[in-house]
């Protein structure tokens, strides 16, 4: 209400509306919408209404801290007697709990002024006036104490004010209307005025209120020069006058800020941070200025003073002036030292200085220039803080160009700031001797059989000398070079010489293979050695040839040629194979892909003319790649009673058996004395020997024996090994879980197959290496879960034909740091040792096994911890009376549960006394174990509830906190422990059901499936075994040899993989020594 309380009064003429003023304030920190609550019909004339700008509003919006002036209206009943009134409760609210009440009283009167309350600054106050009485009657009222000096009252409309009398005459209906106007001086102080204008010729006094609020204003004047000259380290005071031009006493905050000078410091501080001034009065305050000697002379530093009203922070004045240092700066420079500068280096030069000024200061460099910017430049500078007439140093960092000519001069000009005249220093130093060589080439491509590389060797040093050269391919073995004798004379700076080197890439190198030629240059003058690497690339080479020349057709003119196209170059190419001079013969033209280290069979699409009698006929073919490579060759065609129905071009590994289908007329086939096996898919052909071979097969038909040719290319089994090791255990999925090293002398790629716990994970490509290469794998690479677990990992190395060359099997412990089991305290209760425990982090897997090991407790040893319940009950042990001294309890958990989140609570000690009654351990400072166990149990059950709610998604969802509440309410007595066991058993079962059975995003090809099937009979899932026997590498290798049909090697002969592993272990031992 008007007087600051929760009450307000409104006056109204009978049959009209009464208004009660109130203020609404949002004391929160967010915008709100305010609603109303009121009596439905407090005076029998309807409900109250909230009026804003003459209209009713049902709600009102307020910003944070915002206030609003509103009116509450209520109709006065017809015939209401003067002074008749009612009181009602009006409520403004946000909701049912955030609300504020106003007690509003509405009074019937025959004369009222509106609004009932005015709040304003000094000036003009205006009210509307309305009265009702006898017709054509004179009404008057007396201002009384409201007729004050400096206050001017006047009437408007039918109302007049003379002296302290307000008067007016009613009309024929008894109505008198008009207005009152009050004008106050601007200096009128703030005050709350209760208007009780007594009636002299009227039935009722005029009542209302108004409030004159405070005006904040000020005038501030700086009484000094715009620029204040200051001596170093001497305080200077400037004066400011502040006048309060408002209508009430006010306080002002004084803030002084000084801009940071380019060097040194300026301190500016007011003599008082807060002043209070009466209205119309003025006061003075000072600002202390203090400058140090580091500020450059004559530098003007802006200073600002802000005076802010504490009543109204929007009222403030800013005064500005400048402070100027009046210091004397003068330097005496010592001799510059003679120094030789190394090319390509940054050298620190020191020059002696003497401070001839009158204040301690550092030398300030105005600018630095180099007369020889191509030789040297200044990168930084600085100096000591030197007392007056003291000595110090100026230092500069000089950067010399890498190829600055020897004997040239580095000329520098440095200007120091001084009060009178700047000091100029000239520095002149000599450049030291240096040599530099650069080898370049423009022909980096090398033919397959080798080629010449032309090197341009340039001398970029500053001393004539000649290079001493050496070459090699240290990072790309297999490359070689040939050089002739080189006799190079001295070269001057920028002189070059050309050198030719014959480079030979590895035999059979593929197109694009790179080799890094290292050129080692030793300077004859300085013996400086420079190494440069030049990358060379094997260029594509196409060289098409063929193998075989026989083509046998059977009596139905069907058959495949014992001929294949060979690419003796190093890149694949597409060729168009055509029959030349095709008179009577038909051959379907096709495009064939010919690649290195492989054979491309000729399509079986040759048809003879009808008149052909089957005699030997020579045909000429052309294989053309369209880029100038055309290979022509002859094929002899004849007719026999049997022929090959599939291409007789076979490629594989020694020991492989290939299928080849012939005409159905053949009943027996042999290679020499070896009879071939016949199957429904064809003849089984064993691959023997190495490289390309033409094998003659004798086919027995009813018409006699037929000789057919097979082309075979056989490679030896790759002699490769893989040895894998683990760190034993990991705690982090991103840590290295396994490291594998492969060794092979093969030029082909290998495939590494990884199977974890019986599940195929991935295939990796192992590129040819002449030396060992290490591969690191993390737990994430293996698809590990959260753990803990013991994983078995099988690494299988295969060649390009799918043959297993090596197997390595390792085991790894994966810890889980999400849970914790710890000892919280040891206590002695007479002869009983009580061990209190704590467990956090949620349910544990069923396989976890933990125990307490005691030392110093006589015969007492290991005690198993019951982990089936959420709460860990204390372990109580009765000790023999002879036990005295220190007892240590150590917590141990079986792998992989042997490491948890906290390592500091794994053991505790207590000093045991046979005569003590109760004592507490000196180990971890814990107390109140029952409460801690209860808290740990609740935390664990919350974790379990959340997990069950997400894992068992097909059941009705339940609030985890409700589940915990239900569990916590269950009895924890020993006879009800089975319920806890069932609960955790349910959790573990659900966890096992939700465990992924396979890796969905991995391509499970036939090879991977076979590997998994072969592995299932020798591996068990880690979760379903306690201590499975591990297969040793020799057992795996022997089994592999048996599957491949080879004999196991005896221990005396030394398996090559085992020998390799021993050599690697020996090398590790040597490196560790």
Domain covering 720-815+1003-1029, topology: Immunoglobulin-like (2.60.40)
Q: How many helices (H) and strands (E) does the chain have?
A: 6, 79
Burial class from Cβ neighbours inside 10 Å (0-12, 13-18, 19+) for residue 195 reads buried
Which candidate, 733, 753, 731, 758, places its Cα nearest to that of 742? Answer: 753
Which candidate, 414, 264, 420, places its Cα nearest to that of 353? Answer: 414
Q: Is the peptide bond before 901 cis (omega within 30 degrees of 0)?
A: no
Using DSSP, state whether 94 is helix, strand or coil: coil
Crossing angle for the helix pair 960-968 and 929-951, to the nearest 10 degrees: 140
Strand order of the β-sheet with 49-52 is 55-56, 49-52, 67-75, 17-25, 7-12, 99-108, 85-93, 32-37, 59-62
CA distance linking residue 70 with residue 801, whole number of Å: 93
Crossing angle for the helix pair 929-951 and 977-993, to the nearest 10 degrees: 40
Q: Tokens 């800013």 sit at which residue?
A: 318
Q: Token digits for 413?
A: 């000009």
Torsion sign, CA atoms 962, 968, 969, 975 = positive
In CATH, what class is 7-212? mainly beta
In CATH, what class is 218-325? mainly beta
pLDDT at residue 1065 in the model: 59
CA distance linking residue 349 with residue 400, whole number of Å: 12
Q: Token digits for 390?
A: 């003291």
Torsion sign, CA atoms 62, 63, 64, 69 = negative
pLDDT at residue 1030 in the model: 35
pLDDT at residue 618 in the model: 93
Radius of gyration of the chain (CA): 53
CA distance linking residue 422 with residue 415, whole number of Å: 6
Please tell me what DSSP assigns to residue 882: T
CA dihedral 755, 761, 763, 766 (to 10 degrees): -70
pLDDT at residue 845 in the model: 66
CA distance linking residue 296 with residue 265, whole number of Å: 10
CA distance linking residue 441 with residue 453, whole number of Å: 7
Q: Is the peptide bond before 896 cis (omega within 30 degrees of 0)?
A: yes
Segments of the chain scoring below 50 in pLDDT: 770, 921-934, 946-1057, 1059-1060, 1073
- C-alpha atoms less than 13 angstroms from C-alpha of 70 in its C-beta half-sphere: 26
The answer to whether 680 and 660 are in contact (CB under 8 A) is: no
In CATH, what class is 820-969? mainly beta
* Phi, psi (degrees; rounded to nearest 5) at 500: -105, 135
CA distance linking residue 644 with residue 697, whole number of Å: 11
CA distance linking residue 743 with residue 752, whole number of Å: 12
Please tell me what DSSP assigns to residue 404: P
pLDDT at residue 59 in the model: 95
Q: Tokens 């023999």 sit at which residue?
A: 880
pLDDT at residue 590 in the model: 74
CATH 3.40.50.970 fits 331-431, yes or no: no
Which candidate, 618, 616, 617, 586, places its Cα nearest to that of 603? Answer: 586
pLDDT at residue 999 in the model: 33
CA distance linking residue 343 with residue 427, whole number of Å: 17
Q: Token digits for 201?
A: 């010729």
pLDDT at residue 972 in the model: 37
CA dihedral 1061, 1066, 1070, 1071 (to 10 degrees): 10
The answer to whether 224 and 238 are in contact (CB under 8 A) is: yes
What's CA 801's distance to the chain center, in Å? 43
CA distance linking residue 262 with residue 284, whole number of Å: 32
Q: Token digits for 654?
A: 């020694």
CA distance linking residue 878 with residue 623, whole number of Å: 96
CA distance linking residue 652 with residue 644, whole number of Å: 19
Torsion sign, CA atoms 266, 271, 274, 278 = negative
The answer to whether 245 and 292 are in contact (CB under 8 A) is: no
Q: Where in the chain is the domain with CATH 2.60.40.2310?
A: 218-325
Q: Where in the chain is the domain with CATH 2.60.40.10?
A: 7-212, 331-431, 437-538, 720-815+1003-1029
Which residues, 6+ apart, have CB-to-CB distance to 74 below 8 Å?
10, 12, 17, 18, 20, 42, 43, 45, 46, 48, 49, 88, 104, 106
- Architecture of the structural domain at 437-538: Sandwich (2.60)
pLDDT at residue 1049 in the model: 39
- C-alpha atoms less than 13 angstroms from C-alpha of 319 in its C-beta half-sphere: 25
Crossing angle for the helix pair 1056-1072 and 1033-1043, to the nearest 10 degrees: 150
CA distance linking residue 898 with residue 534, whole number of Å: 54
Which residues, 6+ apart, have CB-to-CB distance to 513 below 8 Å?
505, 506, 537, 538, 570
């Amino acid at each position: 209400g008007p007087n600051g309380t929760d009450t307000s009064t409104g006056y109204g003429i009978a049959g009209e509306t009464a208004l009660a003023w109130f203020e609404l304030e949002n004391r929160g920190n967010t915008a709100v919408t305010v609603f109303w609550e009121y009596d439905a019909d407090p005076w029998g004339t309807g409900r109250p209404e909230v009026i804003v700008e003459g209209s009713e509003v049902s709600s009102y919006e307020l910003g944070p801290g915002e206030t609003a002036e509103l009116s509450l209206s209520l109709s006065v009943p017809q015939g209401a007697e003067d002074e008749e009134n009612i009181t009602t409760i009006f409520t403004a609210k946000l909701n049912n709990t955030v609300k504020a009440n106003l007690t509003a009283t509405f009074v019937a009167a025959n004369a009222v002024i509106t609004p009932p309350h005015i709040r304003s600054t000094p000036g003009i106050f205006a009210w509307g006036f309305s009265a009702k009485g006898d017709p054509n009657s004179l009404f008057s009222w007396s201002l009384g104490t409201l007729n004050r000096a400096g206050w001017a009252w006047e009437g408007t409309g039918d109302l007049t004010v003379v002296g302290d009398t307000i008067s007016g005459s009613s009309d024929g209906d008894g109505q008198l209307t008009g207005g009152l106007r009050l004008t106050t001086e601007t200096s009128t102080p703030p005050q709350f005025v209760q208007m009780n204008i007594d009636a002299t010729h009227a039935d009722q006094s005029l009542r209302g209120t108004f409030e004159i609020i405070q005006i904040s204003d000020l005038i501030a004047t700086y009484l000094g020069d715009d620029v204040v000259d200051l001596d170093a380290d001497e305080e200077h005071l400037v004066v400011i006058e502040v006048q309060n031009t408002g209508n009430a006493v006010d306080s002002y905050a004084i803030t002084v800020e000084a801009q940071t000078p380019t060097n040194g410091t300026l301190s500016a501080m007011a003599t008082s941070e807060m002043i209070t001034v009466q209205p119309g009065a003025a006061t003075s305050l000072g600002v202390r200025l203090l400058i140090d000697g580091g500020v450059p002379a004559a530098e003007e530093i802006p200073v600002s003073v802000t005076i802010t009203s504490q009543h109204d922070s929007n009222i403030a004045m800013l005064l500005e002036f400048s402070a100027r240092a009046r210091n004397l700066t003068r330097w005496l420079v010592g001799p510059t030292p003679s120094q030789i500068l190394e090319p390509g280096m940054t050298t620190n030069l020191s020059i002696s200085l003497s401070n001839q000024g009158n204040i301690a200061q550092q030398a300030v460099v105005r600018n630095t220039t180099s007369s020889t910017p191509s030789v040297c430049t200044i990168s930084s500078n600085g100096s000591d803080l030197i007392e007056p007439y003291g000595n110090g140093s100026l230092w500069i960092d000089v950067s010399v160009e890498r190829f600055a000519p020897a004997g040239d001069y580095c000329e520098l000009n440095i200007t120091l700031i001084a009060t009178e005249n700047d000091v100029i220093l000239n520095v002149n130093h000599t450049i030291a001797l240096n040599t530099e060589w650069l080898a370049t080439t423009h022909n980096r491509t090398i033919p397959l059989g080798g080629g010449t590389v032309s090197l341009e060797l340039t001398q970029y040093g500053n001393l004539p000398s000649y290079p001493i050269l050496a070459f090699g391919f240290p990072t790309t073995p297999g490359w070689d070079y040939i050089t002739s004798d080189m006799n190079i004379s001295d070269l001057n700076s920028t002189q070059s010489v050309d050198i030719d080197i014959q480079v030979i890439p590895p035999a059979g190198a593929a197109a694009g293979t790179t080799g890094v030629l290292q050129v080692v240059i030793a300077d004859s003058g300085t013996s400086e050695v420079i190494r440069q690497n030049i990358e060379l690339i094997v260029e594509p080479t196409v060289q098409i040839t063929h193998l075989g020349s026989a083509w046998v057709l059977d009596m139905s003119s069907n058959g495949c040629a014992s001929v294949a196209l060979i690419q003796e170059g190093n890149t694949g190419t597409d060729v168009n194979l055509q029959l030349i001079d095709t008179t009577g013969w038909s051959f379907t033209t096709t495009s064939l892909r010919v690649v290195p280290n492989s054979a491309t069979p000729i399509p079986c699409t040759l048809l003879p003319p009808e008149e052909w009698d089957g005699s030997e006929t020579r045909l000429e073919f052309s294989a053309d790649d369209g880029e100038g490579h055309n290979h022509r060759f002859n094929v002899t065609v004849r007719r026999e009673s049997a022929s090959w129905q599939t291409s007789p071009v076979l490629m594989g590994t020694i020991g492989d058996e290939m299928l080849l289908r012939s005409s159905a007329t053949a009943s027996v086939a042999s290679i020499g004395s070896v009879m071939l096996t016949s199957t429904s898919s064809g003849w089984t052909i064993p691959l023997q020997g190495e490289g390309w071979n033409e094998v003659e097969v004798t086919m027995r038909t009813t018409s006699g024996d037929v000789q057919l040719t097979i082309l075979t290319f056989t490679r030896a089994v790759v002699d490769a090994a893989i040895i894998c090791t683990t760190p034993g255990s990991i705690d982090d999925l991103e840590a290295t879980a396994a490291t594998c090293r492969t060794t092979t002398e093969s030029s082909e790629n290998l495939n590494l197959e990884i199977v974890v716990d019986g599940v195929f994970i991935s295939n990796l490509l192992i590129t040819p290496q002449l030396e060992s290469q290490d591969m690191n794998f993390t737990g994430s690479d293996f698809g590990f879960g959260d753990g803990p677990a013991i994983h078995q990992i099988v690494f299988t190395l295969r060649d390009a034909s799918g043959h297993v060359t090596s197997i390595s099997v390792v085991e790894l412990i994966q810890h889980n740091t999400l849970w914790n089991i710890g000892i919280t305290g040891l206590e002695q209760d007479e002869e009983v040792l009580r061990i209190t425990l704590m467990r956090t982090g949620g349910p544990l897997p069923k396989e976890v096994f933990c125990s307490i090991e005691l030392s110093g407790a006589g015969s007492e040893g290991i005690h198993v911890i019951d982990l089936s319940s959420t709460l860990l009950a204390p372990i109580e042990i009765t000790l023999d009376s002879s036990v005295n001294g220190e007892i240590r309890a150590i917590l141990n958990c079986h792998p992989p549960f042997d490491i948890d989140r906290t390592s500091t609570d794994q053991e505790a000690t207590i000093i045991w006394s046979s005569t003590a009654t109760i004592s507490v351990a000196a180990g971890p400072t814990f107390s109140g174990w029952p409460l801690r166990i209860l808290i740990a149990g609740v935390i664990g059950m919350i974790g379990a509830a959340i997990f069950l709610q997400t894992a068992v998604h097909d059941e009705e969802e339940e609030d985890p906190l409700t589940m915990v509440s239900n569990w916590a309410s269950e009895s924890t007595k020993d006879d009800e422990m089975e319920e806890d066991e069932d609960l955790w058993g349910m959790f573990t079962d659900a966890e096992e059901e939700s465990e992924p059975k396979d890796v969905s995003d991995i391509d499970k090809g036939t090879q991977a499936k076979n590997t998994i099937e072969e592995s299932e009979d020798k591996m068990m899932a880690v979760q379903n075994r306690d201590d499975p026997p591990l297969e040793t590498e020799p057992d795996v290798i022997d089994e592999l040899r048996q599957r491949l049909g080879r004999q196991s090697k005896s221990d005396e002969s030394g398996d090559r993989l085992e020998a390799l592993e021993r050599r690697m272990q020996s090398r590790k031992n040597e490196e560790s020594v």
